[in-house]
A and B are shown apart, each in its own frame.
Chain A
């Protein structure tokens, strides 16, 4: 059942540009790419937040670090994706090591605040980089080049690349979560003291989980810089971290497709309402509030409950 649904969604995602292009919906191909990139970023946060139980409120810093790395390389004349993207991921991962190493010594609300503080520092560093646009941001002259006759400037090609990256990342995350590492991480979330008593180096496990999340967010950032052909410090502002967190909570914390569902739901909601009214934030806010009050498990929770009810009813 679940596998069939996944395959159907994947098939729909693969077919989408083939249908959209002849119908003249080019705009929506770009929108779909952006949505999938946010799905990747939200899924990386879901690993940290949902499985690792670490309430990181600074995830936008890693997305921004990836995006800025690609933009800075581009501005310096290096457009090759083979150089810029791995370095973007490495920069985000290194940042996650530094932030995680300090932040993971604190707990609870203090962890939320300290990750937020670090992200704000990175934000102000981005604002201070006058050579690379400062507050105004930086336009990218072109998209990264990957050679082999593949042109990422074509929106459909770029969409497929994003889809492939997201699919690979979700597969990898699934394997990771169902491997020993994932079990340990979830067990630490449930009872860290016990895991420590059994003899697991919990701090190290959490740090590795935090860094993997950061690295994946860096990859999302590299893609996002390419999709928008533009980076600016707002990518790193705390409301961006908040939005990623909202996506995860909306989709379902600690559900494998939570990040994906949440990103799609939030961005589609925004898109639909912004087509009708400039005051789209009002209905989006009301719907989000309704979901918190009436569907505590997020969207996956709603779907799961229906499914359960049907099964109990013998359907």
Chain B
């Protein structure tokens, strides 16, 4: 097991973790501020990816397509908030689960009707090759760009939430909604904007991951659960928690998949190892989550005191 391999997998983990963060940030804000379980968050990620693929085909430019997809998805997100989700804030979690599950069905089927089950989305040509990072370590340049975009968005988000007035209102809403309303925050408009922001972040993740994973119906469902794991680990409502949780989940998941099967082969008979390896690797993040919840039931960075 060479150190370059470990470094490469760690970078893969960081790249995946940063994209997970983009999903988790929106989810944790919606969950933390509005106390709303939104299963349809993954559908916005899917919509972002499909819009990006469509615009890439139309304009011929990947980056223009990403920008258009972000704007389009944010718009769809805000329309969704204004038309449906707004009515669900005061309802119990079960109603929210049912309603947003229904939205998943509607979104999946609408996408299938408009676009079909999947679309091609290619890596921009300039980034399709590998680059030499260290002697002996070449790495996909596209993945490096994803890391850069992820870090930039994370820092921008941190700046907006920690330093601007809008961010202050968001934090106030997350830690105590009633008090924020009593202090005269226009919570309705804030909710719509936060939802649009969450949708935009989904679109970035969907568009950037599109060339690596497949742009297909149902792509949101598997990653949604990972995003939920992230926000539970990080602490619901906490953006800082989402960063730490996402990178933790991304790295543990990637490293686990890369090395656990090989590790098991050292200790177990081959038949058992080949069966147990992938299973154990997939389970790692859930074990991580259960362990963290056992140790800190409110997650790593609880937003509410």
The binding surface of chain A is classed by DSSP as helix
A285 and B293 in contact (CB under 8 A), knowing A249-B98, A253-B94?
no
Q: Which residues does chain A contribute within 8 Å of B232, judged by CB atoms?
A: 109-110, 113
| CA of A301 to CA of B279, assembled, Å | 43
Q: Which residues does chain A contribute within 8 Å of B105, judged by CB atoms?
A: 281-282, 284-285, 288
The answer on a CB contact under 8 Å between B112 and A279 is yes
In the complex, whether A163 has a CB less than 8 A from a CB of chain B is no
Size band of the interface chain B makes with A: 35 or more
Contact with A along B224-250 (1 / 0, CB 8 A): 010011001000100000000000000
The answer on a CB contact under 8 Å between B97 and A245 is yes
In the complex, whether B110 has a CB less than 8 A from a CB of chain A is yes
In the complex, whether B79 has a CB less than 8 A from a CB of chain A is no
The interface centre, meaning the residue of B102, B110, B225, B287 with most chain A CB atoms within 10 A of its CB, is: B102
The answer on a CB contact under 8 Å between A296 and B113 is no
Which residue from B37, B106, B278, B287 sits with its C-beta under 8 Å from A127?
Answer: B278
- Name the distance in Å between B232's Cβ and chain A's nearest Cβ: 5
CB nearest neighbor in A for B281:
A124
In the complex, whether A156 has a CB less than 8 A from a CB of chain B is no
Contact with A along B267-289 (1 / 0, CB 8 A): 00000001111111011001101
In the complex, whether B297 has a CB less than 8 A from a CB of chain A is yes
In the complex, whether B8 has a CB less than 8 A from a CB of chain A is no
Q: Which residues does chain B contribute within 8 Å of A118, judged by CB atoms?
A: 286, 290
Chain A interfacial residues counted at CB < 8 A? 44
Q: Which residues does chain A contribute within 8 Å of B229, judged by CB atoms?
A: 113, 117
The binding surface of chain B is classed by DSSP as helix
In the complex, whether A121 has a CB less than 8 A from a CB of chain B is yes
CB nearest neighbor in A for B113:
A279
| CA of A245 to CA of B94, assembled, Å | 9
Q: Which residues does chain A contribute within 8 Å of B236, judged by CB atoms?
A: 109
- Name the distance in Å between B125's Cβ and chain A's nearest Cβ: 34
A289 and B279 in contact (CB under 8 A), knowing A250-B98, A281-B105?
no
A242 and B101 in contact (CB under 8 A), knowing A118-B290, A127-B282?
yes
In the complex, whether A15 has a CB less than 8 A from a CB of chain B is no
Q: Which residues does chain B contribute within 8 Å of A102, judged by CB atoms?
A: 290, 294
A281 and B289 in contact (CB under 8 A), knowing A288-B102, A293-B87, A296-B91?
no
CB nearest neighbor in A for B96:
A292
Which residue from B37, B93, B99 sits with its C-beta under 8 Å from A289?
Answer: B99
The answer on a CB contact under 8 Å between A249 and B279 is no
A242 and B97 in contact (CB under 8 A), knowing A125-B283, A129-B275, A285-B102?
yes
In the complex, whether B15 has a CB less than 8 A from a CB of chain A is no
Within 8 A of A (CB), among B96-140: 97-99, 101-106, 108-110, 112-113
Q: What are 13 A-B interface contacts by the 8 Å CB criterion?
A: A49-B94, A117-B286, A121-B287, A127-B282, A128-B278, A129-B279, A238-B221, A242-B97, A285-B102, A285-B106, A289-B103, A291-B98, A292-B102
Add 6 more A-B contacts to A113-B229, A281-B109 (CB < 8 A). Answer: A117-B289, A245-B94, A249-B98, A253-B94, A292-B88, A296-B91
